[in-house]
Copies of this chain bind each other. A is one copy, B any other.
Amino acid sequence: MSEELEGNCLVAQSGGPTSVINASLAGVVAEALNHECIEEIYGGVNGILGILNEQLVDLAAETQQTIRALRHTPGAALGTCRFKLKNQQDYDRVLQVFEAHNIRYFFYAGGNDSQDTADKISKLAQERGYDLRVIGIPKTIDNDLVTTDHTPGYGSVIKYIATTVKEIACDNAAMGQYDLVQIIEVMGRSAGWIAAGAALAKGRDEPNAAPHLIYLPEVAFSAEKFISDVQHVLQKEKYCVVVVGEGLVDADGNFVSTASASSDAFGHSQLGGAGEYLRGLVEETLQIKARAVSLGMSQRAAVHCSSQTDNDEAYLAGQAAVAAAIAGETDKMVTLVRGDGETYTCETGLTPLSEIANGVKKLPESWINEDGVSMNYNFYKYAMPLIQGEVKVPFENGVPVLAKLNMVKIPRKLGAHSFE
Interface residues of A (CB under 8 A from B): 13, 16-17, 46, 73-82, 159, 162-164, 166-179, 182, 200-201, 203, 262, 264-265, 270, 272, 289, 291-298, 300-305, 307, 384, 387-390, 395, 397-400, 402
Contacts and interface: CB of A to CB of B under 8 A. Distances in A.
Contacts of A173: 75, 79
Given A178-B82, A295-B293, A302 B164 contact: yes
- Which of A169, A175, A272, A295 has the largest number of chain B CB atoms within 10 A? A175
Contacts of A167: 74-75, 298, 301-304, 400, 402
B388 A398 contact: yes
A307 B304 CA distance: 13
A168 B298 contact: yes
In order of increasing CB-CB distance, the 6 nearest A-B pairs are A75-B170, A387-B398, A293-B296, A76-B174, A167-B301, A75-B174
Contacts of A395: 390
Contacts of A295: 293, 295, 298
Given A82-B178, A178-B264, A171 B301 contact: yes
A265 B170 CA distance: 21
B200 A168 contact: no
A298 B291 CA distance: 12
5 contacts: A80-B175, A81-B177, A164-B301, A178-B264, A200-B398
